[in-house]
Structure 1
Amino acid sequence: MASSSAGFVAGLTAAAVVTVGFLTYQASANIPAALVGKSRANTSATAAAKAPRDKKNPTALPGSSGTGERVVYSVDDDRVWLVSATGRVERTFKVTPGSVDPLPGTYAVTSRSKAVTGTDGTPIEHVVRFTSVGGVVIGFSAAVNGTTTTPDSTVKTGGIRESRRDGDAMWVFATIGQKIVVIR
């Protein structure tokens, strides 16, 4: 009986070591470049960050912004594109970013809330979250009062504000797991 107990404990220990190793790897793979101090020049996120623009049509979907059904968000242009599975732009609109920007890369919608209060105290609706930066949750939302004013820069906010009409469209389009591509 003692040898079977020892084998059981050894098995549990091995499983724990594997789990800790996996979680350590996963955590290290998701450290923002700013915290690591290394350039991400060779990552696909950077390739997406340099998406070319159509100078004659600034609202056109930037090249190299991914494939398939997705939400494309340009932090430099403060613009969103809702793109169908065939690559057709279903809708594009301007947004007002929070004080904390997401890093360029590909994400997925992780959670949604019909109505909550934003970090800045504003009642918001149709919240679509997809990442966090330094503990600040990043997501799209619309203020219930319809405002899209620039947030107070002294408060760390990750809310990317849309008009209520655009928020309605995002809510329908960006369900849990929907791909979000962030570009510069």
Structure 2
Amino acid sequence: MARHSSGSSSGVFVTALTAAALAVVGFFAYQASAADNWPPSTPAAPPAEETEGGSDNADGGADGGVVDEQPALPAESGEGRRVVYALEQRRIWLVDESEDGTGEAVTRTYEVFPSSQSPDPGSYAITSRWEQGTGSDGVAIEHSVIFHTADDGTVFGFSAAVDGSTPNPEASQRTGAVRQTRADGEVMWEFATEGSVVVVVP
């Protein structure tokens, strides 16, 4: 019985070695086949390009996402360094001389939030500025630049609410605040010094 058991164990051992040898041969054959097919016939597609953007400023924006085409400066909106305010579009353009001095360029454009009253189309000038204050709607504001006071006493100007709120255009109170985001309001403050031209278009 002992002799039979030893022979059986030897046979199992030889069979295991044979199987292992076949596995090794098969592995090297697979590697050789894979090497013949490398690199793949169809290259991997390059990653999609990412477009920076978000803000409407003329420098390309910085809020992430895809930037829409910048809205065109309205025709017949004046000349020279100026603020252009389009009533229907509810949008501002800050226009300055181009860097090469041969024309003009939009340095920034952005949407605004008007109040219940709007100024008549025309050309105005910044008459006063307040870095901090309270709006006619009772909201704490900053970077306020005033460009017109109507005959009925309504004051029109650009400002930003400290709490980021926007005016109610349906309010019964007659107010002329044109609210901006705080970031846009800071840019307007630097751009629209006293005497700067504001052109309001329909």
- Indicate whether 1:110 and 2:122 are aligned: no
> TM-score of the superposition, structure 1-length normalised?
0.67
Aligned counterpart in structure 1 of residue 179 of structure 2, from 158, 161, 171: 161
Q: How far, CA to CA, are the matches of 2:122 and 2:170 in structure 1? A: 26
Deviation at 1:153, TM superposition (A): 1.6
Say what the alpha-carbon RMSD is for the aligned residues: 1.6
Structure 2: which amino acid aligns with 1:103? D
Code of the aligned partner of 1:73: Y
Measured in 1, the distance between the counterparts of 2:197 and 2:84 equals: 9
Q: Which residue matches 1:100?
A: 117
Larger radius of gyration: 2
| TM-score after normalising by structure 2 | 0.61
Q: What is the count of residue pairs matched by the alignment?
A: 129
Q: Map of 1:12-91 to 2, 5 A cutoff? A: 59-85=71-97, 86-91=103-108
Deviating above 4 A after TM superposition, structure 1's stretches of 4 or more consecutive aligned residues are none
Once the two structures are superposed, the pairs formed by residues 140-179 of structure 1 within 5 Å of their partners are: 140-151=158-169, 153-179=171-197
Shift of 1:63: 1.3
Q: How big is the shift at 1:151? A: 4.4
Rounded Cα–Cα distance in structure 1 between residues aligned with 2:90 and 2:153? 22
CA deviations 1:14-49 (Å, max 9, x no partner) are: xxxxxxxxxxxxxxxxxxxxxxxxxxxxxxxxxxxx
- 5+ unaligned residues in a row in structure 2: which ranges? 1-67, 98-102
Partners in 2 of 1:57 and 1:181 — Cα distance? Answer: 23
Which one has more relative contact order, counting CA pairs under 8 Å at least 6 apart? 1
SS in 2 for 1:107: strand
Deviates more, 1:141-150 or 1:101-110: 141-150
Which amino acid letter does the alignment assign opposite residue 172 of structure 1? E
Residues 114 and 162 (structure 1), Cα distance of their counterparts in 2 relative to 1, 3 Å cut:
same
Which residue identity is paired with 1:69?
R
Distance, in Å, in 2 between the alignment partners of 1:119 and 1:99 is 12
